[in-house]
């Protein structure tokens, strides 16, 4: 084409065509300028306009592919480069771009993964699983930090969760990639509006007083110096140190001391438990020893009693000794009945009843041998005491006289009389009754019965 509005070869009218081509170039230049200042959205719009004017504008197509690639829209970028390559197979920079993509399988795989994760995140959003979507989108932006749409969607989810600060961070990153993206700017405005309100609400009013400064001129310079700057700094340092120490102590009290106290308490609890267990064990030992002691004491008492029955007065040994002495005395001199009787009287009659058969036989034999003689002697002594009104002595001797000779009815009768006269009616009645029973049909029995009748009536 020339400067004329017609074809110099065929004469066809090309004015409009030239204007279209000129407009395409205009849009291309605009897109190039916008891409230069990272207004990628604007660049895309201009370059697409250019390509609507002239689809064969290879540079515009290559640049559009590059802008798409920068925005993370890889398939769109590849499409543009492939078409560009077809339009101009040789000396086309798109060839380099495509080679760059195809020569690195891991990069291609990463791109594919990024797209899949982004689509998955979008699917989660449609399903209402916003938390899962956020997780997926974080992976997307970590795989491709320039994925604008991914960051925008993440920011939108943060805005929905009222995570204003996180949303703003994402949107700021979007703005660094694409400075004039209207979606980014709109979301950012929303986040900023909320955050500014919060900051205004929370921020303390801090105005530096003019009185805190001193202003003076030195030559052409105006010097503003804070008053008491050093003193304030020193005092504030000391105050900060004191506050720091106080905070340290407070933290120690709050965090370390409870742990120490808890540990000490646990240790003491364990110790107390151990001591308690030992105490229980010792108490149990003491109880068992006490029981053993009591049983041993009872056993000792029992043995003492048993021993006393053997060794004590009237005991087995003593009784045996007396019986042996009585036998010895009888064998030495059978006529010395008093000595024999003296030994036999020392033997308790109760012991005789519980002693062995041999002991009883010897005892009874000796008593029978000396019984008549000794009984007579005791009877005489008893009657003598009776006549002298010595009734206690009479009772003692007459009871022995009847014991040695149980056929002596006079001894029994006078024994009963002695009891009666001594005022012991109970024994008197018992002896009268014995007489009545053992010697019936005798005169003494008749007398005894009459006494019995009198005593019973009394």
Partner 1 sequence: MINFEEELKKFHPSLEIEEATDAIYNQDMTDMADLLVSLIKEERAAGQSQE
Q: Which positions touch partner 1 (CB under 8 A)?
A: 16-17, 20-21, 23-24, 51-56, 73-76, 78-79, 82-83, 108, 111-112, 115-116, 118-119, 122-123, 125-126, 149, 152-153, 156, 159-160, 183, 186-187, 190
Measured from the CB of residue 238, what is the shortest distance to partner 1 in angstroms? 51
Shortest distance in whole angstroms from residue 8 CB to partner 1? 19
Phi, psi of 186 (to 5 degrees): -65, -45
Contacts of 324 (CB under 8 A, 6+ apart): none
| Closest listed residue to residue 158, CA positions, set 133, 175, 141 | 133
For 13, which DSSP code?
B
Name which of 112 and 368 has its Cβ closer to partner 1. Answer: 112
> Which one, 164 or 451, has the nearer CB to partner 1?
164
CB nearer partner 1, residue 128 or residue 204: 128
Which strand (E) or helix (H) includes residue 206?
Answer: none
How far apart are the C-alpha atoms of 31 and 76, rounded to whole Å?
17
Question: Looking at the DSSP assignment, which residues form a beta bridge with residue 213?
Answer: 226
Q: Which is nearer to partner 1, 21 or 444 (CB)?
A: 21
Question: What is the rounded CA–CA span in Å between residue 81 and residue 87?
Answer: 10
* Closer residue to partner 1, CB minimum distance, 78 or 435: 78
Cα–Cα distances (Å) from 66 to 47, 109, 209, in that order, read 11, 19, 54
Rounded to whole angstroms, how far apart are CA atoms 61 and 79? 9
> How many Cβ atoms sit within 10 Å of the Cβ of residue 47?
30
CB 20, min distance to partner 1, A: 5
Q: How far is CA 336 from CA 107, 295, 390, in A?
A: 147, 51, 27
Q: Count of CB atoms within 10 A of residue 365's CB?
A: 12
List Cα–Cα distances, 21 to 24, 28, 64, 293, in angstroms.
5, 10, 18, 128
CB of 55 to partner 1, least distance (A): 4
Q: Among residues 105 and 219, whose Cβ is nearest to partner 1?
A: 105
Least distance CB 127 / partner 1 (angstroms): 11
Q: Report in angstroms how near the CB of residue 186 gets to partner 1 at its nearest.
A: 7
CA distance 49 to 45: 6
Give 260-277 as a DSSP string.
HHHHHHHHHHHHHHHHHH
Q: What's the distance, CA 174 to chain centroid?
A: 54
Residue 273 to residue 253: CA distance in whole angstroms: 28
CB of 46 to partner 1, least distance (A): 15
Measure the CA angle with vertex 265, ends 260 and 266; round to 5°.
100
The conformation of residue 205, written as its DSSP 8-state character, comes to: P
Contact (CB, 8 A) for 403 and 438: no
CA 47 to chain CA centroid, nearest Å = 73
Q: Which is nearer to partner 1, 12 or 259 (CB)?
A: 12
Closest by CA position to 362, among listed 342, 378, 373, 347 = 347
Nearer to partner 1 by Cβ, of 140 and 411: the residue is 140
CB of 79 to partner 1, least distance (A): 5
> What is the smallest separation between the CB atom of 264 and partner 1, expressed in angstroms?
56
Neighbours of 3 (CB within 10 A): 6
Nearer to partner 1 by Cβ, of 130 and 359: the residue is 130
How long, in residues, is the chain?
458
Smaller CB separation from partner 1, 2 or 102: 102
Q: How far is the CB of 14 from partner 1 (least distance, A)?
A: 10
Q: How far is the CB of 160 from partner 1 (least distance, A)?
A: 5
- Pick 20 or 362: Cβ nearer partner 1: 20
For partner 1, give the closer residue by CB, 95 or 321. 95
User: Closest approach of Cβ 203 to partner 1, in Å?
Assistant: 24
Give the 3-state secondary structure of residue 218: strand
């Amino acid at each position: 084409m020339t400067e004329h509005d017609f074809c110099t070869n065929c004469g066809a009218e090309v004015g409009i065509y030239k204007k279209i081509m000129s407009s395409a170039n205009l849009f291309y230049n605009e897109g190039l300028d916008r891409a230069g200042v990272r207004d990628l959205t604007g660049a895309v719009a201009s370059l697409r306009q250019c390509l609507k004017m002239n689809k064969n504008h290879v540079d515009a197509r290559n640049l559009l592919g590059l802008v798409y690639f920068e925005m993370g829209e890889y398939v769109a970028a590849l499409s543009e480069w492939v078409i560009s390559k077809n339009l101009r197979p040789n000396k086309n920079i798109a060839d380099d771009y495509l080679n760059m993509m195809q020569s690195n399988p891991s990069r291609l795989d990463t791109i594919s993964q990024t797209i899949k994760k982004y689509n998955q995140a979008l699917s989660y959003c449609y399903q209402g699983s916003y938390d899962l979507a956020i997780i997926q989108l974080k992976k997307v932006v970590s795989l491709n930090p320039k994925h604008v749409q991914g960051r925008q969607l993440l920011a939108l989810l943060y805005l929905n969760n009222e995570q204003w600060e996180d949303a703003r961070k994402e949107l700021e990153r979007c703005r660094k990639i694409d400075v004039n993206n209207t979606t980014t700017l709109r979301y950012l405005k929303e986040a900023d509006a909320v955050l500014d309100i919060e900051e205004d609400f929370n921020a303390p009013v801090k105005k530096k007083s003019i009185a805190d400064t001193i202003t003076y001129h030195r030559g052409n310079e105006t010097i503003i110096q804070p008053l008491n700057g050093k003193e304030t700094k020193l005092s504030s340092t000391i105050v900060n140190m004191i506050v720091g120490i106080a905070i340290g102590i407070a933290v120690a009290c709050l965090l370390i001391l409870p742990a120490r106290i808890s540990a000490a308490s646990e240790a003491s609890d364990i110790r107390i438990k151990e001591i308690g267990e030992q105490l229980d064990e010792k108490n149990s030992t003491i109880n068992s020893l006490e029981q053993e002691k009591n049983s041993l004491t009872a056993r000792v008492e029992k043995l003492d009693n048993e021993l006393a029955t053997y060794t004590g007065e009237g005991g087995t040994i003593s009784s045996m000794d007396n019986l042996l002495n009585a036998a010895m005395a009888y064998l030495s001199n059978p006529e010395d009945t008093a000595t024999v009787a003296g030994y036999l009287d020392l033997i308790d009659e109760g012991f005789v009843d519980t002693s062995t058969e041999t002991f009883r036989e010897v005892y009874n034999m000796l008593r029978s041998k000396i019984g008549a003689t000794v009984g007579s002697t005791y009877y005489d002594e008893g009657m003598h005491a009776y006549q002298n009104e010595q009734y206690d002595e009479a009772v003692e001797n007459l009871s022995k006289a009847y014991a040695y000779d149980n056929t002596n009815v006079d001894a029994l009768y006078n024994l009963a009389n002695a009891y009666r006269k001594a005022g012991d009616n109970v024994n008197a009645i018992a002896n009268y009754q014995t007489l009545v029973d053992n010697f019936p049909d005798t005169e003494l029995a008749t007398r005894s019965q009459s006494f019995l009748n009198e005593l019973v009536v009394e």
